[in-house]
Structures are given as structure tokens and as C-alpha cells.
Amino acid sequence: MLFNFKILLNNATLRTGHNIMVRNFQHGQPLRKDVQLKGRDLLTLKNFTGEEIKYMLWLSADLKFRIKQKGEYLPLLQGKSLGMIFEKRSTRTRLSTETGFALLGGHPSFLTTQDIHLGVNESLTDTARVLSSMTDAVLARVFKHSDLDILAKEASIPIVNGLSDMYHPIQILADYLTLQEHYGSLKGLTLSWIGDGNNILHSIMMSAAKFGMHLQVATPKGYEPDPSITKLAEQYATENGTKLSLMNDPLEAAKGANVLITDTWISMGQEEEKKMRLQAFQGYQITMKTAKVAASDWTFLHCLPRKAEEVDDEVFYSPRSLVFPEAENRKWTIMAVMVSLLTDYSPELQKPKF
């Protein structure tokens, strides 16, 4: 009989309530945690409250400060191993996860489709159970989000979404950490998304309102975000008193925005649509003309890799562009995710303002 330890842990959490006393073994001091993430999956930010996401960002800032600024060695993941399933190639996701997990004393194991072909050579159910017996967590970068749902259902260890066709939650954590570092707070910012209604946008829509951020979205007709995600995002906006606007005019979406954001117009697996997409996205390139209608303190984000048709060099390499700090923060945020899901560590750094 296979026990699902995630369910057992969640049940125990419910019995003890939300305020849990845990012992921080790194320092030997009992600390109070109002957020309990240990043992959970991270498939989409839809499943996390604003306070839970803020906690992961707080932990990201803490690890970055203690390791990068103070030069401390924190083997918080010593003795733990991570399975990394990559159906899609990657620079930032692979490097940030491998180096970050190892920096914390853990052992990451990289698996491509040449090593493990999900649902082909072995069923997803069997794969999940085998990985559960050999690793402490799995990060999977897949084509179909439904594959992650099956892995999470069948595994007894945390499953982390490294990217799927529907969501890219770990990218958005890096984006938010970058903006918090730059602006000092996220509440009240207006984000402008100009581009495809894709997995990055979906993850922003599932989280921005929880921080009190407004979102203005411009996509070409026929490339809007998923209707079910839009409906839920509208609910979040209402609950949190924020504004969500969807349109087809890039300049209108950029008006008054603090942050201009775009992404690739042609995702992996959409190569056959390249000619059609390039035509549909004419006029969506972010330039200084776009920036002129934004807020005076505008900044620019792009998850990379970037193509010139998406944003010109003047914006991309300008002092307003935060793309390289954003890329670096992929490492600190994925480290925080792993520490949150696998340990009882609590941040020492004072909680940042969100």
C-alpha cells in the first residue's frame, strides 16, 4: 500500500490549525509560522493565498541576503535530492534549480526525454511512485499541465511546476521579487502585459490582485488569455479592490503603467504558427513610444529568451530594464520554494513590505 504523505501532512496541519510552532534547526530557536507550505505542491499560484506567496518572496529575500550579501553557507537541503524532469529545453529554469538546490546542500538530478519520457515508456502513475521512493521533490517542465496534475495526484512528495502550457508560477515569483526590490512595495503598482495570452500572463492573473496590483492586458484578437482564468482573475480583482482590464490596444494597456511586461510570441511547440503569429502581433513591440505613455517610473520585464520583434534594444538594454536582475532572481526564488516545501526553516531577515 502506497501512503500519500502529502495528504497526511495536510490533515495534520488542519488538526493543529494555521498557527504552527516549528523549531528552526539551523539556529535552534523555536519560531512561529503563520504559513505552512511544507509538503505541498506548487502547480499554480491559484492554489496559494497572498500571504503564502508573500512568505515565499520573504524567504527568497532572506536567502539572497544571507548567502549572497553575508556569504553564509546554509546547507538547508543537505541529504535531500530533487528529480528534474525537462520535456522542454531551458536556460534559467535548469541553471537556477540545479545550482540553487546544490548551493543549499542538496543533490539535483536532471532528466530529459532521453532519460524519462512521461507517459510513453512508463505511465505517469508509475513514474510518480518511483520518483517518490527515490527523491524528496520533483520539478517538472512539461508541455501539458494535465501531466503535472497526474504527477501531483500520484506522488507522495511535492511536485513543482517548472513550466506548463497553462502556468509558469516560479517565473512570476522572480518577477515579484525583482519589483519588490526595485519599488520597495508591490501594492498599488499597475502592471501592463503586452503580448500573447500565455502561461506567464495566466500566472500573473492568478496572483497580482492578491498583492493589490492592477493589471492592464493587451493581446491581439484570438490570442486572449484562457476564459476560465480570466473569470477567476476578475473575481480576485473584485475581492481585492484592484482593476483588471483586457483590450487589444498595446498603447492603451501601457497608459499609466509602472511595469511593462512581454514575453515570446512563439512558445516552444508553436513553431509551425510562426508566420501567422508574427503577422498577428504586428504593432505589439514594446518601444520608447510605448514607454512614453507609461508612468514616469516605468520599468520593463521579460522572462527571456527575448526576440527583437517583442521589444527593441533601446528599451531592453535601458536602465529601466530589470530583465537581468529578474533572471538572477529565478535562482533565489526557486531556492525559497524548495526550502518552503521541504524544511521548517524560517527567515531571519525582517519581512519586506509588500
State the catalytic residues: 303
Chain centre distance of CA 131: 23
Cell numbers given for 255: 497608459
Cell numbers given for 80: 535531500
Nearest to 216 by CA among 255, 188, 187: 255
Residue 205 near residue 230 (C-beta atoms within 8 A) = yes
Nearest to 327 by CA among 147, 93, 104: 93
Nearest to 205 by CA among 248, 144, 261: 261
SS3 category, 24: strand
In whole angstroms, give the CA distance from residue 34 to residue 31.
Answer: 10
Residue 108 near residue 97 (C-beta atoms within 8 A) = yes
In whole angstroms, give the CA distance from residue 148 to residue 252.
Answer: 36
